[in-house]
Structure 1
């Protein structure tokens, strides 16, 4: 691998006549915005589809089994995804990942007509592979491209754009099924709409640049590594399982997707009718935009000390999470899996609708704050795309293992109350372990981070910026 710079100090000096504009294709802000648009169109629409409960079907069995297959393969390819990203680069990795989302939405269009689970389960398994690739690339871009003291802000920018996909995706079933108050499954147009957005996202992914071609506003490159190799990545991925930092992340990783099956199937689908489920998702994903901005501000601006900001952010999310899960427990005691809800809540039901709606909105708020907090912690552990792609891949892999278990737990009929308690316990265990990780591993001085040795000296940052914008540098991935 080609590493440039001062080999003794491990640093590259920056030679720039002034600060560069953020409005460049090869700027971190533009690249984070573009990956946000990709995730708006692909995972964002997938979230809207899943958020309706049962993939928009009255019987959640097919969706539960498809999601189990999805998260099983996602577990493997989430962990491997960072290494694959380092070998293939972002464009090839993302086009492979994004295309599987289209297949998954199409499988439910097929299911709408033939009621055969095999296609949906197979598509779910392929989506797990693709999602592992996409989220490894996304994690590397979102946590390594920004300057070290603004990672929380960039994470909130990404999370807001990404979750706008869930908002728009929630409007699709709400509008297309508005007059189908008693319908049991969404119409074909809903799935076709999701597929159209996912196709656009696949196309946009080709505007993502290799990290070696991305230049921060101060003139430094995000990394000067042009490529990796299979042998290197196998060794580095295996080392992650011995890394004490990754071990402390395991409970938070398991928890961060575990609650989706409960929230989507056992709250949204169990309590509300079809059209209201779509409307609820508009606000669930909208709440995520609010939550990501709020926690991003705390993690970047609340205190001068970066370590203190991390500890305060974890404390805030912990307190809010305890309150929200406590509210969920109060509601859950009112109904169970064995209750036959023949008349489900509609958004026009006034006060009966308001309480459960606020709870579901709060779950969305907590999801964004929890995951943004974890991403901030990961981003604070290193400052190089190559390292962070592996860290994020490990996070997504373990996260997906939790998701695979959660969807199958629901498919096998675990009581709603038990699922809530498991989710609450998993998230609660995460907070002190994340605090220990921040205290021991997050430094207030950026020079102490891993990966800073790979910043590249630029003879003329502005000239390089212009060259990159024209596609003249680096590996064409």
Structure 2
């Protein structure tokens, strides 16, 4: 039975669903797969934004909690050495498995891949709880390596959902929603840590802090199981997300090679990818952990991740602002980011000139003189991080609408990113001069933007429904359906 005319307040068309054998009503942009409850429009469970929000909550409970712990510096320990060793195992495993995570995702699907990915986070937190009592470095290093494998799966699946589920003109919104929820997890996790360590000015964080993270991260792994398969997700224009069919391991590695050969511009983004997690070690271990008391570290963490939410939401909204063409938006965004890199890291010299491994940090507390100015500078690092990560994801999503290619892009992104994090974890673990870590963090960000500039000048188009996508049709196993999904022209 068709809906009453007075309820059809948007343009509708009817399409026949071959798989389900019934007629589906496809409503206008933003209202597809909605139903009414007490007069309100409620998005249906298989709608893209519903699934993106669910993935956001998974990120809230898994990497969000991990970030809350990592942001304390040394994962809440007084000495960051053991955390650096775990970080080497974590990022090394991530670099390797990030390259094949797209293959695993094509075989297992989004739901199972994310569920497997969520397991490692709770084990990682448990290892530090154990370390508080046994000083068992081996368990911490093992848990970091396991987390590297699991996180590669989780982030690959998350990247595919975030970049391939929405239509072109909603990709920035999808990125900002996911980033908002992901960082909200870090904010709440940091707030819990602050409450439990309010009277703790020195030493490791409490056992209760680690126990809270274990419980929340376990819930995140379980939540993955409620996601729907990708082929059941229907976009607002009536098109379905392409269902992957695994062609075999050999063919998948050939696919990785063809991805680079068919669009070598992606290589120019590798320096940006390399820098995207490199700077965390300096900010968390050599600024937050070095400079501040345990209570102030937790307090800083709350505002660090809160700033990430604000920055990602604002930057994502700008990247979706269709009054300007996509090429113009990305050009403005690039220029803004370059200015911010120079200004914020230049301001960070205030930290650097007073930081040395030869003496203990000042242990600044939240009630100390001039603390507010140092907090603002630390929050500026968070602002830059949020727009950097958002811009990386937006750029990849703007380069193709093919979900299989996006899986490869996400794998490249996280793998190269992990190599950078491995390098800096080793440097920090070997007690390299903090000035060298500071200078390399700043230099890599500036160089990454310069290397990527040709992509924004010559490679990006106002829409990817173009010859670039058409040339991939013979290799992508069904990109035609995806191109129909993305047929929303943006600004001129």
TM-score normalised by L of structure 2: 0.86
2:327 alignment partner, one of 302, 307, 313: 307
Aligned residue for 2:228, secondary structure, equals coil
User: In 1, distance between residues paired with 2:243 and 2:456?
Assistant: 27
**Contact 1:87 1:230 survives alignment (8 Å):** no
Deviation, structure 1 residue 215: 0.8
Deviation of 1:446 after TM superposition, in Å, equals 3.7
Does residue 354 (structure 1) correspond to residue 367 (structure 2)? The answer is no
Indicate conservation of the 8 Å contact 1:222/1:384, yes or no: no
Q: 8 Å contact 1:240–1:394 — kept in the other structure?
A: no
Q: How does 1:40-51 map to 2 (within 5 A)?
A: 40-51=60-71
> CA separation in 2, counterparts of 1:151 and 1:139?
11
1:73-108 per-residue CA deviation (whole Å, 9 max, x = no partner) reads 000111211121111101111111100111111111
Q: Which runs of 5+ in 1 are unaligned?
A: 1-14, 459-477
Contact 1:211–1:385, Cα closer than 8 Å, also in 2: no
Give the TM-score normalised by structure 1. 0.89
CA distance in 2, matches of 1:118, 1:301: 49
> Quick one: which of 165, 174, 179 aligns to 1:159?
179
Picking from 427, 449, 454, the partner of 2:481 is 454
In the alignment, structure 1 residue 219 sits paired with structure 2 residue 238? yes
- Are 1:149 and 2:169 an aligned pair? yes
CA contact (8 A) 2:187 2:305 kept: yes
Distance (whole Å) between structure 2 residues aligned to residue 441 and residue 212 of structure 1: 30
Structure 2 residue 191 is the aligned partner of structure 1 residue 171? yes
Matched, 1:421 2:439: yes
Query: Structure 1 residues 31-40 or 297-306, which shifts more?
Result: 297-306
Q: What is the RMSD of the two structures over their aligned residues, measured on CA atoms?
A: 1.9
The Cα of 1:218 is off from its aligned counterpart by 1.3
Q: CA deviation at 1:456?
A: 8.9
1:204 Cα deviation after fit: 1.1
CA drift at 1:202? 0.7
Q: 1:409 to 1:65 in 2, by over 3 A?
A: same
Pairs within 5 Å for 1:327-476? 327-341=347-361, 343-349=362-368, 351-448=369-466, 450=469, 452-455=479-482
1:264 equivalenced with 2:273 (yes/no): no
Q: Is the 8 A contact 1:221 1:456 kept in 2?
A: no
Deviations 1:403-449 (A, max 9, x none): 00011111111111211110111111111332211233222134216
Matched, 1:18 2:27: yes
1:470 equivalent in structure 2 = none
Against the structure 1 CA distance between its residues 75 and 17, is the aligned structure 2 distance closer, same or farther, given a 3 Å change threshold?
closer
1:468 is aligned to: none
Identify which of 193, 196, 199 aligns with 2:218: 199
Superposition pairs of residues 2-151 of structure 1, within 5 angstroms: 17-19=26-28, 20-21=32-33, 23-151=43-171
- The SS at the match of 1:293 is helix
Check 1:90–1:207 CA distance in 2 against 1; reply closer, same or farther (3 A cut): same
Assess if the C-alpha contact under 8 Å between 1:220 and 1:456 holds in 2.
no
Distance 1:112 1:240, change over 3 A: farther
Cα deviation, residue 227, structure 1 = 4.8
1:465 maps to none
Contact 1:106 1:191 in 2 (8 A): yes
Give per-residue Cα distances to partners, 1:127-179, cap 9 Å, x unaligned.
00001000000111111111111211111111000000110111122111112
User: Relative to structure 2, which stretch is displaced further, 242-251 or 407-416?
Assistant: 242-251
> Alpha-carbon deviation of 1:228?
4.7
Distance (Å, rounded) in 2 between the aligned partners of 1:137 and 1:345: 40
Say if 1:77 and 1:397, in contact at 8 Å, map to a contact too. Answer: yes
Q: Which has the higher contact order (CA 8 A, sep 6+)?
A: 1
Give the whole-Å Cα distance in 1 for the aligned partners of 2:484 and 2:378. 49
Residue pair 2:259, 2:405 contacting (<8 A) in 1 also: no
* Inter-partner Cα distance in structure 2 for 1:457 and 1:67: 42
125-134 vs 441-450, which moves further? 441-450
* Residue 283 (structure 1) aligned with residue 292 (structure 2): no
Give deviations 1:244-289, integer Å, cap 9, x for gaps. Answer: 1221111001000000110000000001111211111111111111
* Uncovered stretches (5+) of structure 2, i.e. residues with no partner: 1-23, 35-42, 470-475, 486-492
Distance change >3 Å, CA 159–CA 228, structure 1 → 2: farther
Q: What's 1:247 paired with?
A: 267
Partners of 2:117 and 2:149 within 8 A in 1: yes
Residues in 2 aligned to 1:30 and 1:137: alpha-carbon distance in whole angstroms: 16
